[in-house]
Amino acid sequence: MSKLKEFITIHQLSVTFPSGEQEKKALQQLELSLYEGQWTAIVGSNGCGKSTLAKVLTGLIPPTSGSVQIDSKAHPAVQMVFQNPETPIIGETVYEDVCFGLMNYGVDAEAMKRRALEALQQVGLLPLAEAQTASLSGGQKQLLNIAGCLALNPPIYVFDEATSMLDPLSRQHVLEAVRKLHDQGHTILWITQLLDELAWCDRVVAIEDGSIAYDGPKTDFFYPASGDEQSVCESLGFVAPYTVKTVQALRKRGFQLNPLPVSPIEFSKAVSALYDSN
Ligand SMILES: Nc1ncnc2c1ncn2[C@@H]1O[C@H](COP(=O)(O)OP(=O)(O)OP(=O)(O)O)[C@@H](O)[C@H]1O
């Protein structure tokens, strides 16, 4: 982690909303550094402050106090994909919709066409360029939203529970598109309640009541040092994915899997390695 360039520096970030007679502290003196090219997953229960963090990062709401510094000259530096695929869709056709952001940034007609078509190609929607946006499925709409961000070529992408309204196959398509972005060196902030999606990330940050409760590798999040202790994941009240629960049960029976898997594919490799070594 220390070799990566610090890309976003969040210092003493607090966000307070008016709430009746009182105030609601959505984020409380948050300290967080995000690194270039890293895929960071943000997890936390409803209302802990995840979306507020995403909105501050994308400039949709200002900090009440503290600061967010982004070490990039790109414009825009950050783009966000929202939970509801319908929210950002404006264009009548798929192509028009991707062009919308480019028009807002004053991109000339020739470059706009090239960048829009390239972005649609990358997410697999080029054959649907002339389709009506209203005719797309939820998963296709979310891919279109990703294409809209891609066309603007920001170095940082924030996904706020971007798969939570999609069926499993569409979810997989979106995750594949994001994996491509990550492979190309983009920085990903992936907010999720679906812990099996942590298989894709480099680092996990758990938020509790507007503060950071855990920041570290996914294996340390899911697995305690010894098979009998409680994991960070469990102690924070999350339910571990099926693969992790299975490995925990195996560890209690004396099976040592190495490296500790999070995804089913990692699990199958670790089990094969166990057989090969016997
Ligand atoms: N505009 C607002 N006005 C008042 N309170 C707000 C506003 N936006 C968020 N809050 C409150 O701030 C807290 C954090 O909200 P936030 O949306 O960031 O949580 P979250 O972790 O994203 O939740 P979820 O998983 O349900 O999306 C919540 O208590 C919420 O009710």
d(CA 52, ligand 1 centre) in Å: 6
Tokens at 163, concatenated: 């798969």
d(CA 67, ligand 1 centre) in Å: 19
Specify the ligand 1 atom closest to the Cα of 48.
21
Per the CB < 8 A criterion, the answer to whether 149 and 203 are in contact is no
pLDDT value of position 30: 96
pLDDT value of position 201: 94
| pTM for this predicted structure | 0.92
Mean pLDDT of the chain: 92
Whether ipTM exceeds 0.90 = yes
Specify the ligand 1 atom closest to the Cα of 83.
27
- CB-ligand 1 contact for 47 (6 Å cutoff): yes
pLDDT value of position 1: 47
pLDDT one-digit tens code per residue, 88-122 = 888 999 999 999 999 999 999 999 999 999 999 99
Beta-carbon neighbour count of residue 224 at 10 Å? 16
Greatest Cα-to-Cα distance within the chain, rounded to the nearest angstrom: 66
Angle, helices 168-183/138-151, rounded to nearest 10 degrees: 20
Residue 51 pLDDT exceeds 70:
yes
Residue 89, helix vs strand vs coil: coil
From CA 88, how far away is CA 39, in angstroms rounded? 23
The structural domains of the chain, ordered by start, are 6-215 (3.40.50.300), 217-277 (no CATH)
The residue among 87 and 228 whose pLDDT is bigger is: 87
Mutate to test the pocket of ligand 1, among 45, 52, 194 (most ligand atoms within 8 A of CB): 52
Query: Side chain identity at 233, as an amino acid letter?
Result: C
pLDDT value of position 277: 75
